[in-house]
Amino acid sequence: MNTRVLRLRHSLRLVHGGTSSVVPRVDARLLPPVWGHWRLAVKSDRILLSADERFLLEEPEETPLEVRILDPRKALFFEDGGRWEVTLSRDEEPPHPFTLLPIPTRVEVELVRRTGVARTGRDVRITSNGDEVQLPEAEPGRYRSPLLRWGPEFRTFTVLSNNQTVGPGALNPSRTLTRIRFVVP
């Protein structure tokens, strides 16, 4: 009896570059030249590439894949519209994390008094884990960051106004602009 034994050669997991969380609901396809012994499977958040162990000595040096996010609304928040070409090397051992770069976004902090009047002329910054981003005043009482590709260190942050803590904030990776409003004295 001729038994086939599939051996897992590559396990690719897509990770959000702004949150470090795993990106679910992805799809993949092999790109030419396609080695005829590959078996491609997509399981929720993993892309698995296996081959019959009898043929592994013939495995190509590199294997190109196209990877994409299935949810078109979520795909909009990543570079390249949620579609990438990935080249896997024969020398790599699984698992393979693949970091998806989010599109650049902004953070806007609105400072108002209890009366609703804009709090202008402030030095506003956001800080997280020792990193800091200055938010210049874009319009009266609204302080806006430049377009940035935020890393996971800014998933949550602290808002400062004139070196005083105003409050906490959290980046919303599913929006191009995260807005936060604080009532300050």
Half-sphere exposure of 127 (CA within 13 A, CB side): 13
Q: Is the bond preceding residue 95 a cis peptide, omega within 30 degrees? A: yes
* pLDDT at res. 152: 84
Q: How far is CA 120 from the centre of its chain?
A: 33
* pLDDT at res. 97: 80
Q: Name 45's Cβ contacts closer than 8 Å, sequence gap at least 6.
A: 13, 14, 22, 23, 24, 25, 26
Closest C-alpha among 152, 126, 171 to residue 18: 152
pTM listed for this prediction: 0.73
What single letter denotes the amino acid at residue 37? H
What single letter denotes the amino acid at residue 87? T
* pLDDT at res. 35: 93
- Name the residue with tokens 């976004």: 105
* pLDDT at res. 142: 97
* pLDDT at res. 1: 55
Closest C-alpha among 62, 65, 80 to residue 31: 65
* pLDDT at res. 22: 87
Closest C-alpha among 41, 62, 47 to residue 13: 47
What single letter denotes the amino acid at residue 84? W
Q: Name 107's Cβ contacts closer than 8 Å, sequence gap at least 6.
A: 126, 133, 135, 144, 145, 169, 171, 177, 178, 180
Q: Name 33's Cβ contacts closer than 8 Å, sequence gap at least 6.
A: 60
Domains, the chain, in order of start with CATH, read: 6-100 (2.60.40), 106-183 (2.60.40)
Spell out the per-residue pLDDT of the chain, length 185, in tens: 567 788 989 998 888 888 888 888 889 999 999 999 999 999 877 899 999 988 888 989 999 999 999 988 888 888 888 899 989 888 877 777 888 888 888 999 999 999 999 999 999 999 998 899 999 999 999 999 999 988 888 889 999 999 999 999 998 887 889 999 999 98
* pLDDT at res. 158: 96
CA distance 42 to 24: 11
